[in-house]
Amino acid sequence: MMGWGLLVVGLCCVVVFLIVKWVLRSVNEWYYERELGERRYELPPGDLGWPFIGNMWSFLGAFKCSRPDSFISNFADRYGNSGMYKAHMFGNPSIIVTTAEGCRKVLTDDEAFKPGWPSSTMHLIGKHSFVAIFDEEHRWLRKLTSAPVNGHEVLSLYMRYIEDNVVVALEKWAGMGKIEFLTELRKLTFRIIMYIFLSSESEQVMELMEREYTILNYGVRAMAINIPGFAYHSALKARKRLVAVLQSIVTARREWRTKNPVRAKKDMMDALMDAQDDKGRRLRDEEIIDVLVMYLNAGHESSGHITMWATLFLQNHPDVLKQAQAEQEEIVKKRGPDQKGVMLKEIHEMVYLDKVIDETLRVVTFSLTVFREAKKDVRVCGYTIPKGWKVLVWFRGVHFDPETYPDPTKFDPSRWDGFTPKAGNFLPFGGGSRLCPGNDLAKIEISIFLHHFLLNYQLERHNPGSPLMYLPHNRPKDNCLGTITRRSAHQK
């Protein structure tokens, strides 16, 4: 009797548990889809996860357990390979778009989409930065700020500065013994972007700011929990400190400009201070600071990571390394006796290195996803994205599509021999009106670094098996701890 009783109680518990689970799993769908009426049947397949946390648990779980692709493959396993899935991400009902066709459509249709970054990102990067502004305001500020980092003339101008700093840094690292290669690279790329935007700052200020950016970036991809001990809370504090430093730089510059009205050289800060829109409006300090917070971050974090990964891939693939070294040696051999340093035309001749960099950009896919919001109901690849819903343009899905890139997880620069991806199939720098304005600068920086590294240096990692982390960005957990040494004559 007792046994039957226990069985019944057990069964009741299981049934109650299943009902509660089903109700909880359906709450988000009832709440967000009810108001869509019949249009809910036009949504892509998927599920909106649990109340409050949505699908964030499985997103963070997949990325923290180093299985980044399992997050999307779980959707594909459950709902079929539709390439678009509904989900609840970063606090919003969202559509994740993983196909080249869908991503291109979202990135290029400014009539239908505007930026849709989570409000936590906006608080961290700034409500006057490009993650928050759109249409006319974005076009104006983008034109103003992208000019100083684009075009043959300006890039040639920065190349000397970049190269001098690369040469000094590599020499210094080779005498330092054990270093965190990624940390040092981030400092180097930060110094370069600070020079371009602010004509440099003191060593101390730069180190401090770079450290604050590291903390800020941890918060960008974390749950927006503003409680001490959580990454987002620390990131908000880091932003405050960054804003304070930038405010003091802006104030000092304004004072300096008043005393020196005629200036020989103008940098990005000058451009922002001089700017006037067609109604004669000038930018306020807080707007300038937000644009700087964004540019200084975007302009060093990505280049530092990609340079580290390209170096690692080269070191781990001896055949690729040999071919890349041979190309650089050939370039140096052709130089006249008076030439000092790399020329822009030589970078265009680095055809093999360019394939190595493109393959690195693909395999790493530094920007896992970017966010948009539908301004109206939009049809994409046969599904409806409802007005107000967020869209996650999932670059990783595009870059790991086996139909375009057979054996997609393999690092293989030769896949680029005679191969030009169709529009939308290769998006390391995004696309449309938000295409990365620093793409040429980034490629030049990476090429100059690899040029000198390949000719003269090698890296020995201390923990080659160090586990990988995927958030906020792909990197070895030990920040690539290793020793840089000069290549001896017989290795050349």
Residues that constitute the known binding site for heme: 436
Pairing assessment for the beta strands 383-385 and 378-380 based on DSSP bridges:
antiparallel
Cα dihedral 446→449→452→455 (10° resolution):
-50
Give 224's contacts (C-beta < 8 A, 6+ positions apart).
90, 91, 118, 119, 120, 232
Applying CB under 6 A, which of residues 118, 424, 428, 476 lies at the interface with ligand HEM? 428
Please tell me whether residue 437 binds ligand HEM under the rule CB under 6 A: yes
Binding flag, residue 219, ligand HEM (CB under 6 A): no
Find the residue with minimal CB distance to ligand HEM: 438
Residue in 40, 114, 142, 462 binding ligand HEM, rule: CB under 6 A: 142
Amino acid at the residue 25:
R
| Binding-site size, ligand HEM (CB under 6 A) | 22
Q: Are strands 92-97 and 390-394 parallel, antiparallel or unpaired?
A: parallel
Cβ of residue 192: shortest distance to ligand HEM, in angstroms?
A: 8
Question: Residue 71 interacts with ligand HEM (CB under 6 A)?
Answer: no
367 forms part of the interface with ligand HEM (CB under 6 A): yes
Q: In this complex, which beta carbon is closest to ligand HEM, that of residue 100 or of residue 294?
A: 294
User: Helix (H, G, I), strand (E, B), or coil: what is residue 128?
Assistant: coil
Site for ligand HEM in 95-134 (CB under 6 A): 130
Whether residue 391 contacts residue 385, with contact meaning beta carbons closer than 8 Å, is answered with: yes
Least distance to ligand HEM, CB of residue 484, Å: 21
Asked if 350 is part of the footprint of ligand HEM (rule: CB under 6 A), the reply reads no
Q: Which stretch binds ligand HEM (CB under 6 A): 30-38, 271-279, 374-382, 437-445?
A: 437-445
**Single residue of 370, 374, 444, 471 touching ligand HEM by CB under 6 A:** 370
- Nearest distance in Å: CB 134, ligand HEM: 9
Rule CB under 6 A: is residue 347 a binding residue for ligand HEM? no
First to last CA, the chain: 85
Q: Is 429 a residue that touches ligand HEM (CB under 6 A)?
A: yes
- Using rule CB under 6 A, residue 267 touches ligand HEM: no
Residue 415 binds to ligand HEM (criterion: CB under 6 A)? no
Spatial separation of the C-alpha atoms in residues 69 and 343, rounded to whole Å: 40
Which residue of 366, 383, 416, 453 would you call a contact of ligand HEM, by CB under 6 A?
Answer: 366
Cα 212 to Cα 130, 206, 296, 297, 471, distances in angstroms: 20, 10, 12, 10, 17
Interactions with ligand HEM, residue window 271-310 (CB under 6 A): 294-295, 298-299, 302-303, 306
Helix or strand or coil: residue 480? coil
Tell me if 449 contacts ligand HEM by CB under 6 A.
no
Minimum Å gap between C-beta 210 and ligand HEM is 15
Task: Identify which of residues 325 and 447 has a Cβ nearer to ligand HEM in the complex.
Answer: 447
Q: What is the dihedral of CA 417, 300, 110, 288, to 10 degrees?
A: -160
β-pairing verdict for 475-476 and 468-469: antiparallel
Tell me the residue ranges of DSSP E strands in 276-385.
369-374, 378-380, 383-385
Task: Give dist(CA 258, CA 276) in Å, integer.
Answer: 18
The answer to whether 222 touches 238, Cβ cutoff 8 Å, is no
Report the distance separating Cα 94 and Cα 96, nearest Å: 6
- Residues forming contacts to ligand HEM in the complex (CB under 6 A) are 130, 142, 149, 294-295, 298-299, 302-303, 306, 366-367, 370, 428-430, 434, 436-438, 441-442
